[in-house]
Structure 1
Amino acid sequence: MQQNDSSWTDADEIGHNDTPNETFHAVLDARLSRRSMLLGGLGGTAAVALGGLVPTEAEAKVTRPWMGFKPVAKSVADMVSVPSTYSFGVLIAVGDPLRDATPDYANNGTDTDFEWRSGDHHDGMEYFGLSDDGLSADRMGSNRALLATNHEALTDQFLHVNGVSARPRPVSESLKEIPAHGISVVEIQRQADGNFKYLRNSAYNRRITPNTPAVISGPARGNALMKTVYSPTGTTCRGTINNCGTGYTPWGTMLSGEENWAGYFFRNSNDNTARGNDKSVASFTRYGRNAGSSSRHGWETSGSDDQFRRFDISKTGTSADGSDDYRNEMNTFGYMLEVDPYSANSAPVKRTGLGRFAHESAAFARLVEGRPLAVYMGDDSRNEYMYKFVSNAKWTAADAYPADRLATGSKYLDKGKLYVAKFNADGTGAWVELTIANPLIAGYAGYAFADQADVLVNARLAADAVGATKMDRPEWCATNPNTGEIFYTLTNNSNRKVDVTSSSQSQVDAANPRSYSDSYNGGAAGSPGNVNGHILRMKERDNLPGALTFRWDVYLFGAEAGSDLSKVNLSSLTDNTDLSSPDGLWFSPTTGICWIQTDDGAYTDKTNCMMLAALPGTLGDGSVKTLTYTKADGSTLTVQTPVGAAPIPEKLKRFLVGPVDCEITGVCETPDGKTMFVNIQHPGESISQANVANPAAYTSHFPGNIGYGAGGAMARPRSATIVIRKNDGGVIGS
């Protein structure tokens, strides 16, 4: 997820899709036409509601009216703002120890032992309830739980005393940075005053880092593309990296999306030649690792130790299959990683059946007994695609509380079909299966697929082959528990154009209809693109998870209040509802509220990133809007797109604004709906290396400036998880 591409550019988000796939040049002719519950028992208990799950269609309920709070004003202050009837506190922040043997975090760059500290850049997270005594899983446990949190990336200059050293990187610095990535699982408990704290020495606490042994599962297990000197059989690998959004499975595990992983690897300038310019070169190009590509952190320069050497994916060995070097190491990243938080000793599992790309979150379709499961996913890079996995296994409620959760994951996630979305300009769409049996894939001129595992490992290339629709950076997705509709955030795309002048750009179309200029901080207007992003929703045919067709419209367009209503502010947002770059997205199973989080760099002259609460309508509740553009040659380009009804103030409100330079990301709540957990990622990240030693120059001091942790009001900023409660003890959002 990283910052908006208008102000901060991650090499993995630049976009490496130069295929000429269709992007809706046809004109749209006609208008498109509460609570999550699941039966079952845990250890013999009666039917209960499951936090984080979507209900079956029969169990979906209409929620009572919510959203009674007063909206929060926009803010550029270095603080967290919530409604006056709510309060918040910090639960855990970067560096906090997960065992008694690890010292308190000094937050001055001297800290070590990150294998036992909370990682950096808190991102997606999920809540896993425990019984009050903490001895067993209890999906309805609202007093004690495990919180599993992704750690996407680093504000690395604050991890070291004087910032980041030049390359070759000192071993001591790499030994901090590597384990500061990954996932944390911590036990939390409600205290007598109603607030939660994390339990520092819980037996459940664990870190999953880039060095943690993991299992390769699904169609790519044992495939030639997965073989390395670490695992010559291609059945295991090490760790996870750049973990972004999450997914809560119906059997009680977490799916963690590996997002911008490609940039962590180095290829030397002669690697194409060393590989004999074989087909791996096309794969590396499509995933953004050309020969000579520099790595993000330079860990491979820290010496010959295997934990550093693995980040150099150049061909250096003489074997035919890569079992004597790390030429295939990058192929072991880019998946949904399944983690069982309740089992601290279990190895995480890479679910290769769900494809390899820049994964964000994973959203399950509403559960239908006797029907397959569907998992929705997005590929977060400019002009990339939206995907769906459909299991071969049919859902049975008996699998909601299994004894072996990861085995149940294998049942549903290792065998199935991966699809990619094609959007039609008439408001319909189709899911196209990515299979070696498809002649378009088997005979694709851009890459010679060897087998189905190759199709999944190179899902982007397979999607290119079938002509999937290029989208504006698909981020998180979520399923509305009341309607079964699937929502996707499309955060922004600086390469969405009216006049396309290069293969990296895409023309405006029905599903991605906006391209406009916007000034930032009083400066000149920038290059046109989809600056503020939008949220798309779709509905499967007959609401079935295995459907091959769907309908769609745009639920909400991000925009600044007061901007052009005919071309930019198509959702008529006001001062209390405007937003830019929607990113995180989650429906509360308790209230049905849709929580929208932003990761913005285009509107931060007016407000820091934020979280809004929404009660969306249903697909087709709005109208078709027409956008007319004048091209450089004087001709007219007309795009029509179905847009949802403009949200009324009672159904869209700003709930939270974060501190300076942060992203708001990750949200979950207790099953009783009375406590919410939200992540504040990378506050103050824009500080330069030169100013690390000058606290007065920091753009943020959160959360030290509210009294949390070492350093006081001038502390180095830290990513953190905050806990939000209503002052009267009521349900969040009421």
Structure 2
Amino acid sequence: MTQPRQPGQVDPILAAGDEPASNPTSNDYFGDILAARMHRRTLLRGSLAAAVAAAMSTALPFGSALAAGTQAAPTRIGFQAIPVSNTDSVVVPEGYNVQTFIPWGTPISGSMPAASLEASGDDQGHQVGSHHDGMHFFPLEGSSRDGLLVLNHEYVEPRFMHAEAQGLALDSEGFPQYEDGSRDADQVLKELNAHGVSVVRARQSDDGQWQVIEDERNRRITGLTPMRLAGPVAGTEHVTTKYSPDGSMTRGTLNNCANGVTPWNTYLAAEENWAGYFANQDAEIDRRQARYGIESRSEGRYQWHRAAGGADEFARFDASSRGASPREDYRNEPHGFGYMVEIDPYDPSSIPVKRTHLGRFAHEGVVFAPAVEGQPVVCYSGDDARFEYIYKFVSAKPYQAASADGSLLDEGTLYVAKFHEDGSGEWLALAPGENGLTPENGFADLAEILVNARSAADHVGATKMDRPEWGAVDPATGQVYFTLTNNTRRSEEQVDAANPRAENHFGHIVRWQEDGTHAAERFQWEIFLLAGDQESGRHLDGTPLDQEAIFASPDGLWIDPDRRVWIQTDISESVVNSGNHEVFGNNQMLVADPETGELKRFLTGPVGQEITGIAMTPDQRTLFVNVQHPGATTSAEAFAAGELTSHWPEGGSALPRSATLVITREDGGIIGA
């Protein structure tokens, strides 16, 4: 096992595993729409400051005090902002404490196997997974000190998982393999079991520290867990496989990034960059895979299909046509991925369900509008890839608290967003016979539309967005927020007074107000924050960001019950702390006031990581935040020499591990206030 696999060249601003652009349409770019809108206002107002302010304050209904021209409300942000940092540590404001909790490999079930490079693949199935991401705290009996912490595990870094990897020249995507290109089967099992979701009972002891409690509800949902398909795609020819000839089941969930929580208190895990895990040797690949980035002769991100022994659970990652029909091979296996996966954390015997009516794409997560008795359930989701779209689902049946369950997500209408230059927008239905989605145009029925959600959105003319990431809904105003991480396509020749940045590396946050209820088909939008340094970043009122507020690549997003907007950043390890990103330091978390636009930095993380995932106890006195892939900036040569960029959280010479932060105030007060 001496041949390390090294991935090919990718877009330098993309993080490991991120999907490259695969949208070939001529649909409008959001950047073009924003530029045109700002240019028109520039002509009318005559200055860059006025143009930026105009595009960022459009007097939305129930909008900001600044936008409406009224007196600003008192600040919601009560801590002293911290500076940027490039140290291998976690920094929070004065008066706050941080505990490191459940790092990768922490035992939670079975015989409680200890974390170790020598731990087996089966052991990993009883340990906390790798690369922590979206999460939620489900209280037990309403307690803020005892509950089930449920968290996603986006992907793995094999070099930090296997004893056999030590000393090899492996980058963050590399893995050990045999001379003939095959892989050790137990290593593949370990990597699959490190994906998925962890359900962990967590309790705060009298000394304030949180600990894992052994409990029958502790479990791992992994890349191998049997899962039921539900909704219009289930049982169709799109998802028939050797494993499930009737198209009712699939195995596992992969690349779980952000999450969601249903009004009936279950957990939803998003399947984001799942397409890269599949190999396909077919000469021609149809849109069900090609439109999601699976190319002819592709090998797969970790080459799991090459596991020695050819076990079926590994071989399924080869989507090539090898049998006489889809029931004899795994050509349709990728069509069982790209969904939101519903998990009941309170019932360890429950089978996870993939809700196909929410659409198939690179789900970053899902955010629900507040459920209203007797009205439809509404939720939003972003497709996290270059020039992809923002979607909304509206249930067919009304919400009834006494009987609501996941079946509400199996019937309804999936919409995609179209943004207009004048600050208005509309939701375009992805439904049979609507907006040109007809058999004549290649969309035979609803299942065909949903399994090809990207192609359907292309066809109806949705607006190409700059990597839609997490969403959040303001509990008071109902405004919906989405982070847009970056857009590097703008050239120097396209720079003008209203568009001061060539190649937008830094991203922004958009928000909108629906015209009526969240089920409405029209909305009004504005830019909430323009990320960047002190020259290019802008507050809500159009003024430049100050040093305590500069940030880049907004990703994670959450609004707490007191309406503080928590923003997490994911500057790619390929550019963090270098070039025009050097000024931002390590990835961080900030807090914004939705009324005044005030923005302060709350947390900075260690070297090479992404700050992601956020959850809070009901009393708002404990905050959980995830640190993903510390040390990912270690080069292949440095790894071979044992010269790692991070040793967090253990320090010394330890290998870095993703982990959860538990943040409390020294005075026991509400976080952020």
TM-score between the two structures when normalised by the length of structure 1 = 0.80
Please say if residues 248 and 254 of structure 1, whose CA atoms lie closer than 8 Å, have aligned partners that are also in contact: yes
Give the alignment of 1:466-477 within 5 angstroms: 466-477=460-471
For residues 226-625 of structure 1, the aligned pairs below 5 Å read 226-268=239-281, 270-272=282-284, 281-303=286-308, 304-319=310-325, 322-399=326-403, 408-410=405-407, 412-438=408-434, 440-442=436-438, 448-497=442-491, 516=501, 528-542=502-516, 544-563=517-536, 571-589=543-561, 591-601=562-572, 602=575, 604=577, 605-606=582-583, 607-617=585-595
Distance 1:558 1:450, change over 3 A: same
* Structure 1 residue 685 corresponds to structure 2 residue 632: yes
- 1:136-215 matched pairs, under 5 angstroms: 140-163=142-165, 164-166=175-177, 167-199=181-213, 201-215=214-228
Structure 1 distance, partners of 2:522, 2:504, is 26
Aligned-partner SS, 2:667: coil
Aligned to 2:648: 702
Task: Name the residue aligned to 2:67.
Answer: none
Structure 1 residues 678 and 89, CA, compared in 2 at 3 Å: closer, same or farther?
Answer: same
CA distance in 2, matches of 1:415, 1:209: 27
Q: What is the alpha-carbon distance in structure 1 between the residues aligned to residue 92 and residue 189 of structure 2?
A: 37
TM superposition shift of 1:588: 1.1
The root-mean-square deviation of aligned C-alpha atoms, in Å, is 2.5
Q: Deviation string for 1:182-229 (max 9, x for gaps)?
A: 000000011011221111x21111000111000000111101101001
- Correspondence 1:727 to 2:673: no
Paired residues of 1:444 and 1:465 also in contact (CA < 8 A): no
Instruction: Find the residue that maps to 1:732 and give its secondary structure.
Output: coil
CA distance in 2, matches of 1:464, 1:240: 26
Distance 1:671 1:230 in 2: 42
Structure 1 residue runs without a partner (length 5+): 34-61, 132-139, 273-279, 403-407, 500-506, 517-527, 618-644, 706-712
* Contact 1:532–1:580, Cα closer than 8 Å, also in 2: yes
> Secondary structure of the residue that 2:246 maps to in structure 1?
coil
Deviation at residue 692 of structure 1 after TM alignment: 3.5
CA–CA separation in structure 2 for the residues paired with 1:357 and 1:397: 29
Residues 336 and 359 of structure 1 are in contact (CA less than 8 Å); yes or no, is this contact kept in structure 2? yes
Return the offset for 1:294: 1.9
Task: Give distance in 2, aligned partners of 1:573 and 1:603.
Answer: 19
Change (3 A) 1:450 1:146: same
Between the aligned partners of 1:564 and 1:441, the Cα distance in structure 2 is: 40
Quick one: distance in 1 between partners of 2:120 and 2:381?
Answer: 39
Q: Which amino acid aligns with 1:179?
A: N
Task: Look up the equivalent residue of 1:187 and give its one-letter code.
Answer: R
Amino acid in structure 2 at the alignment position of 1:409:
G
Structure 1's 125 and 496: CA in aligned 2 closer, same or farther, altered over 3 A? farther
Cα shift at 1:156: 1.5
Query: Tell me, what secondary structure is at the counterpart of 1:214?
Result: strand
User: What is the TM-score of this pair, normalised by structure 2?
Assistant: 0.87
The Cα of 1:443 is off from its aligned counterpart by 5.7
- The structure-2 alpha-carbon separation of the partners of 1:108 and 1:725, relative to structure 1 and needing over 3 Å to count, comes to farther
CA contact (8 A) 1:389 1:417 kept: yes
| Offset at residue 436 of structure 1 (A) | 1.9
* Structure 2 counterpart of 1:434, one-letter code: L
- The CA deviation string for residues 70-112 of structure 1, in whole angstroms up to 9 with x for no partner, is 1111000000000110010111000111126133213577786
Partner of 1:55: none
Task: Flag the 1:508–1:145 CA change in 2: closer, same or farther, 3 A.
Answer: farther
Decide whether aligned partners of structure 1 residues 348 and 314 sit closer, same or farther in structure 2, where only a CA change above 3 A counts: same
Equivalent-residue separation in structure 2 for 1:718 and 1:569 (angstroms):
40
Question: Which residue in 1 is equivalent to 2:4?
Answer: none
In structure 1, what residue type is equivalent to 2:270?
G
Q: CA deviation at 1:449?
A: 2.0
Residue 78 of structure 1 corresponds to: 88
Equivalent position amino acid for 2:205 in 1: Q
Shift of 1:11: 5.7
2:287 partner SS: helix
The one-letter code matched in structure 1 to 2:316 is R
The answer to whether the 8 Å contact 1:243/1:256 transfers is yes
8 Å contact from structure 1 (residues 492, 581) kept in 2: yes
CA spacing shift, 1:453–1:571, aligned 2, 3 Å = farther
d(CA) in 2 for partners of 1:678 and 1:243? 16
Structure 1 residues 682 and 509: alpha-carbon distance in aligned structure 2, compared to 1, 3 A threshold: farther
**CA 1:311 to 1:75, structure 2 compared with 1: closer, same or farther past 3 Å?**
same
Amino acid at match of 2:604: V
Tell me how far 1:354 sits from its aligned partner. Answer: 0.1
Quick one: distance in 2 between partners of 1:226 and 1:196?
42
Give distance in 2, aligned partners of 1:86 and 1:16: 44
In structure 2, the CA distance between the partners of 1:498 and 1:375, relative to structure 1 (3 Å rule), is: farther
Tell me, in whole angstroms, the C-alpha distance in 1 between the residues paired with 2:80 and 2:11.
32
Which residue identity lines up with residue 587 of structure 2 in the other structure? C
Structure 2 residue corresponding to 1:93, chosen from 103, 106, 109? 103
Mapped to 2, the partners of 1:654 and 1:12 lie a distance apart of: 26
**Separation in 2, partners of 1:565, 1:299:** 45
Residue 544 of structure 2 aligns to which amino acid in structure 1? Answer: S
> Cα distance, 1:669 vs. partner?
0.7
CA offsets per residue over residues 415-439 of structure 1, 9 Å max, x none?
0000000000000000000012125
- Give the stretch that moved more between structures: 432-441 or 480-489: 432-441
Identity of aligned residues (%): 44
Structure 2 gap segments, 5+ residues each: 1-9, 42-53, 60-71, 166-174
- Give the whole-Å Cα distance in 2 for the aligned partners of 1:165 and 1:391: 46
- Point out the more displaced range, 81-90 or 24-33: 24-33
SS in 2 for 1:585: strand
Question: Of 6, 9, 14, which aligns to 2:20?
Answer: 14
Cα distance between partner residues in 2 of 1:159 and 1:80: 23
Q: Which amino acid aligns with 2:228?
A: V
Matched, 1:715 2:662: no
Q: Contact between 1:557 and 1:571, CA under 8 Å: does it hold in 2?
A: no
| CA positional deviation for 1:143 | 1.4
| 3-state SS of 1:440 partner | coil
User: Which residue in 2 is equivalent to 1:405?
Assistant: none
**Do the aligned partners of residues 530 and 563 (structure 1) sit closer, same or farther apart at CA in structure 2, a change above 3 Å counting?**
closer
Matched residue count: 612
In structure 2, the residue corresponding to 1:178 is in which secondary structure? helix
What's the CA shift string for 1:470-509, capped at 9, x where partnerless?
Answer: 000000000011210000000112234576xxxxxxx999
Q: Which of the numbers 53, 63, 67 marks the counterpart of 2:77?
A: 67
Which residue identity lines up with residue 185 of structure 2 in the other structure?
A: V
Aligned partners of 1:180 and 1:204: how far apart in 2?
A: 18
Q: Which residue of 1 aligns with 2:116?
A: 106
